[in-house]
Structure 1
Amino acid sequence: MNATPINDAVGVLPSQAISRLIAANAITATQPIPMEQIQPASLDLRLGTVAHRVRASFLPGTATVTERLADFAMHDIALENGAVLEKGCVYLVPLMESLALPPEIDAVANAKSSTGRLDLFTRLITDQGEEFDRIDAGYTGPLWAEISPRSFSVLVRPGLRLNQIRFRQGQAMLDDDALRVLHASTRLVDGPAHIDGGLGFSVDLSLEGPVGYRAKPHTALIDLDRLNHYPVDAFWEEVHATDGHIILDPGAFYILVSREAVHVPPEYAAEMAPYLAMVGEFRVHYAGFFDPGFGNTDAGGAGSRGVLEVRCHEAPFALEHGQIVGRLVYEKMQQRPEKLYGADMNSNYQGQGLKLAKHFKL
């Protein structure tokens, strides 16, 4: 049964509203949902007990995921005792959580930060879905994760949290005029604000020492339950700039960092959006949402850099220090969350600079 409305306000639902959706059975799961799964403006999603190896990615369209799976499935892998998802393969995993959303609530999903920093391509799929990571208002049904490891093979188990979902009511995104007003009252970056279709950010290639990391092509697998465990040099090569630029190699995966320190006020949430393809032969994306309080002084952040996941496409590309490579889209929260990123949580990336995923030794 669908839940009653949270309230009449437009905005992204905060942690306390997500808790109410769970209590109203608008969000259900095969296992109880612990409090730590609820983030300031999103809900972590957990892998179920089986992974279906598929021969191609797909969207179900007018069918259910289960119906379409019969056309693409190759074999099933039980996850209970841990299983390896191999680099270059595509898997479909039913999640523990299901939805029965009210008609006024829609949702969007994204990979968690550590998932993206491992180049672990993850997207959410729903029954009758025509887009990845988008859930229509009023959706009732199961949730599935499409997982495709790109740089490293990984060991996974049930309950692992690779992606997350953000709920909202109405159109909450700030246009450029509203973004300029917000930046004037609460600085969103520590330098000049480039506002055009969102808040632009640039790459920092002026760091002393390495300016980034490049994934090695042939490595051991990564057990995703092991944190602060793996030596960096077994999986990554340091990237050093020459005269303020680096050359991106086609097909290679890089971890870089933004020049700007980012601030997300507690009454707002943000998301990194891919920049226009015309800026070059590469794609930049920050997997994961920027929660309320990210980098915010009131939440103990004092500015946090955006870690950039960069993949070059068809041709080598010279990336210059200070080049604008992406943009942040801000949304209004329906209410201030009862807990904020960093201040009220064991947040891995508050106050961060250039930083790999939490699985690697500091």
Structure 2
Amino acid sequence: MTGVLASQTLRSMIDAGVIRAEPPVLAEQIQPASLDLRLGRVAYRVRASFLAGHGRSVAERIAEFEMHRVDLSAGAVLEKGCVYVIPLMESLALPPGITAVANAKSSTGRLDLLTRTIADGGVEFDRIPEGYAGPLYAEVCPRSFSVLVRPGMRLNQIRFRAGQAVLSDAELHALHRKEPLVSGEALISEGLGFSVDLRPSEGDLVGYRAKPHTGVIDLDRIGHYAAQDYWEEVRTSEGRIILDPGAFYILVSRESVTIPPDCAAEMAPYLAMVGEFRVHYAGFFDPGFGHSAAGGSGSRGVLEVRCHEAPFVLEHGQVVGRLVYERMSVLPDMLYGAGIASNYQGQGLKLSKHFRVDSRS
């Protein structure tokens, strides 16, 4: 069994105690190729982001860096610009040969809510080695908006792998010939490259920029907030925009992409040398994303972009990232968009689910 572990395998791992949780895992946490992780009841405000490091526990490091703790039981605000560490309800007892990787959920990334998973003895964010037995923690740093959170909220997700899962460029070329993975020409080099769309087919709206001074966002409120209260529209008729240092943007890929049911994918940076910006990816693409069998006809990737150091000119068609495809160990018994609550199937330029579709209302 080599590849990314599917939904039915995750259920077996829960039954076997490989994945543990208090309270028990809910059925809706299980996705086609990942498991949503839930916030616990307390958040520790810490002086700085950290990794536990070899031979040290996260609890030890919290004691070292804690400023104060926040009870989340009745809901509490995580302040913009602050760093919090929150014990998760889930813990692991991984067997040999099984590793895990975590990432922020799509809606989390689109709010510029930096969320990373840390574990005891960890020397990398979001990476859990084989044989790990212990608790999991979310490091949360709201960067554009302060947010109201409660226990049980799901900001990040975890994916499990057995052995080597990544498709080589040759395998990716073969898969693309069998079924087009992207609209237009496939740029394949250590994954499938994608570019930014700054010449929309209709109008001149190409993205959104987060406003610097806004109200709190309650993460339980779906379709509640007027977009114009939190975002400035970014428009251009020239096919280019200038990114401002420190600003956060929501843009969209020029290409529509497809993830076949027997594959999963993860967004990754293209090259650090291409410009003074970073695309903060939401992370995982589940089996069936944009696929016809799951109610899609190709879906575009939303880009979460932050500019660094100096203003930077971003131009239409510039390659900004890549999708790394991975094989599934088995075909999952559920697909993205097919009868499950998938918010972004068939998406174009789209803010997180917390904002009203008609921002003028």
TM-score (norm 2): 0.97
SS at match of 2:205: coil
User: 1:286 Cα shift?
Assistant: 2.1
Relative to structure 2, which stretch is displaced further, 95-104 or 40-49? 95-104
Distance 2:280 2:76 in 1: 28
Aligned to 2:129: 136
CA drift at 1:181? 0.8
Q: CA deviation at 1:165?
A: 0.1
Report if the CA contact (8 A) 1:272-1:285 is conserved: no
Query: 2:59 is matched with which residue?
Result: 66
Q: Percent identity?
A: 70
Which residue of 2 is the match for residue 205 of structure 1?
198
Shift of 1:344: 2.6
Matched to 1:148, the amino acid is C
**1:114 Cα deviation from its structure 2 partner:** 0.2
For structure 1, which segment, 218-227 or 283-292, has the greater mean C-alpha deviation from structure 2 after superposition? 283-292
Q: Could you tell me how far apart the structure 1 residues matched to 2:164 and 2:338 are?
A: 28
Tell me which residue corresponds to 1:25. Answer: 17
Deviation of 1:159 after TM superposition, in Å, equals: 0.2
**CA distance in 1 between partners of 2:39 and 2:163 (Å):** 29
Q: In 1, Cα distance between the equivalents of 2:338 and 2:14?
A: 24
Once the two structures are TM-superposed, the CA of residue 242 in structure 1 deviates from its matched residue by 3.8
Does the 8 Å CA contact 1:300/1:342 hold for their aligned counterparts?
Answer: yes
* Structure 1 residue 239, shift from structure 2 partner: 0.2
Normalised to the residue count of structure 1, the TM-score between the two structures is 0.97
Residues 264-292 of structure 1, C-alpha deviations (whole Å, 9 max, x = no match)? 00000001001211110001132131000
Partner of 1:125: 118
Q: Which residue of the partner structure matches residue 267 of structure 2?
A: 272
AA matched with 2:262: E
Equivalence for 2:165: 172
Structure 1 SS opposite 2:175? helix
Q: Which moves more between the two structures, 283-292 or 16-25? A: 283-292
SS of alignment partner, residue 230 of structure 1 = coil
Tell me by how many angstroms 1:209 deviates. 3.3
- The runs of at least 4 aligned residues of structure 1 exceeding 4 Å deviation read none
Measure how far apart 1:32 and its partner are: 1.7
Between 108-117 and 279-288, report the one with greater CA deviation: 279-288
1:111 to 104, 107, 110: 104
Within the candidate set 82, 86, 89, 1:89 is matched to: 82
- CA root-mean-square deviation: 0.7
Cross-structure match for 2:326: 331
Partner of 1:309: 304
User: Structure 1: how far apart are the matches of 2:167 and 2:91?
Assistant: 29
The one of 36, 40, 44 equivalent to 1:44 is: 36
1:283-322 equivalences in 2 (<5 Å): 283-322=278-317
User: 1:128 corresponds to which letter in structure 2?
Assistant: G
Q: Which runs of 5+ in 2 are unaligned?
A: none
**Structure 1 segment 148-167 matched on structure 2, within 5 A:** 148-167=141-160
For the Cα contact (< 8 Å) 2:180–2:258, is it kept in 1?
A: yes
Residue 186 of structure 1: CA displacement?
1.2
Deviation digits for residues 7-63 of structure 1 (CA, Å, limit 9, x no counterpart): xx2100000000000000111111121111000000000000000000011111120
Match of 2:228 among 228, 233, 242: 233
Q: Does 268-277 or 42-51 show the bigger shift?
A: 268-277
